[in-house]
Amino acid sequence: MRWILVMALVGNVAYTETVREKQTKMGSPFILTAVHEDEDLAKAAIAAAWQEIDRLEAMISSWRQTSETSAVNRAAGLNPVVVSPETYGLINRALKVSSLSGGAFDITFASAGRFWDFRSGELPDPAAVAKAVEAIDYRNVLLDPDKQTVFLVQPGTRIGFGAIGKGYAANRALRVMVAMGIKSALVNAGGDLVATGVQEDGAPWQISIQHPRERKRLLAQLRITEQAVVTSGDYERFFMVDGKRYSHIIDPRTGYPVEGMQSVTVICPDAELADALATTVFVLGAEKGLELVNRLKSVDAIVVDATGTVTYSLNIHDQIMDGPVSNTQHTTDK
């Protein structure tokens, strides 16, 4: 009798496994983590998530000639292009962020962005950039909901999903795992994170946000679940010319890299929105960017400007942050 009771108790103990895999996707390191009692299920869910990310990369990559993005770009100034409902939806949402941000976030940045090559480290021809700026305007992207078409009205306009695609992919990868029965998972899409559930030991996921200049220094430690944490920075993709830093986030008004910021971290439940907003706040700058974040529900941000001053959004909750967050301003000791 006693034996039976002991067996029953042991049988009830949920033994969880954590499976973690890393691959390069969308030109960045991705890490997928799934927690489940059944290790095989966790592995299968991660495999399905990789497939989903591959599918999205094929659909939206600007570098692939066969992507829907390339098809739309090739038809700029010529004709509308029928796209999948998924691409249509992504563009539609990107345009909403554009209008919310007054054009700071703009997928047509690519009209000038294509002249910037962050691998070669050579400055583009200023005349080419000046001309390209004329073609940057999210209102040049015409959507027809009945025909499900996208039309870039100006011949020089190009679109690119660099500032929103990884967040979307992170959302989708998480959803695919959850649909397969995974209740706890973390997706790291090249630094764009989204989490559900808890870690193997039952604790919330712990996320460290690195200082943009000092590798060993942490800006914050977050404890999250059902949240996304996305950082836009000037330190991943950039080059230096004559001591000046040129980084990959472009000011749509000038066609040149934004200068006033080092990093922006956005925390909100949706990775796609967090991704788009991190880029938006980076372009808007600390003051205007935080003004926007403080107006939005369930959105928080940590901003580091060009001088190294760290500013937090007003709503940043104590419960997601280790250590005290005293009001708004922290200056880094540089």
Residues engaged in binding ligand AMP (CB under 6 A): 105-107, 109, 113, 160, 162-163, 232, 237, 248-250, 252, 275, 278-279, 282-283
CB distance 110 to 197 below 8 Å: no
**Which string of x and - marks every residue 144-173 that binds Mg ion (by CB under 5 A)?**
-------------------x----------
Closest separation in Å from C-beta 101 to ligand AMP: 9
Closest separation in Å from C-beta 37 to ligand AMP: 35
Q: Identify the residue among 193, 278, 283, 290 touching Mg ion (CB under 5 A).
A: 278
Name which of 42 and 104 has its Cβ closer to Mg ion: 104
By the rule CB under 5 A, 279 interacts with Mg ion: yes
What is the rounded CA–CA span in Å between residue 222 and residue 209?
Answer: 8
The partner in contact with residue 283, picked from ligand AMP, Mg ion, none with C-beta cut-offs of 5 to 8 angstroms by kind, is ligand AMP
Closest separation in Å from C-beta 213 to ligand AMP: 17
Name which of 42 and 283 has its Cβ closer to ligand AMP: 283
Q: Please count the other Cβ atoms lying within 10 Å of the Cβ belonging to residue 178.
A: 17
The partner in contact with residue 106, picked from ligand AMP, Mg ion, none with C-beta cut-offs of 5 to 8 angstroms by kind, is ligand AMP
Closest separation in Å from C-beta 171 to Mg ion: 13
The partner in contact with residue 268, picked from ligand AMP, Mg ion, none with C-beta cut-offs of 5 to 8 angstroms by kind, is none
Name which of 165 and 197 has its Cβ closer to ligand AMP: 165
- Which residues are CB-neighbours of 160 under 8 A, at least 6 positions away? 62, 69, 107, 109, 110, 113, 114
What is the rounded CA–CA span in Å between residue 46 and residue 186?
Answer: 10
Give SS3 for 1.
Answer: coil
CB distance 25 to 53 below 8 Å: yes
Q: Identify the residue among 68, 106, 234, 275 touching Mg ion (CB under 5 A).
A: 275
Q: What is the DSSP track for 307-329?
A: T-EEEE-TT--GGGBSS---SSE
By the rule CB under 5 A, 270 interacts with Mg ion: no
Closest separation in Å from C-beta 5 to ligand AMP: 55
Name which of 176 and 250 has its Cβ closer to ligand AMP: 250
Name which of 283 and 310 has its Cβ closer to Mg ion: 283
Name which of 252 and 285 has its Cβ closer to ligand AMP: 252
By the rule CB under 5 A, 249 interacts with Mg ion: no
CB distance 300 to 267 below 8 Å: yes
Buried b (16+ CB within 10 A) or exposed e, 105-143: bbbbbbbbbbbbeeeeeebbeeeebeebbebbbbebbee
Name which of 106 and 275 has its Cβ closer to Mg ion: 275
Q: Which amino acid is at 164?
A: I
The tally of CA atoms less than 13 A away on the side-chain side of residue 246 is 17
Give SS3 for 85.
Answer: helix
List contacts with Mg ion (CB under 5 A): 163, 275, 278-279
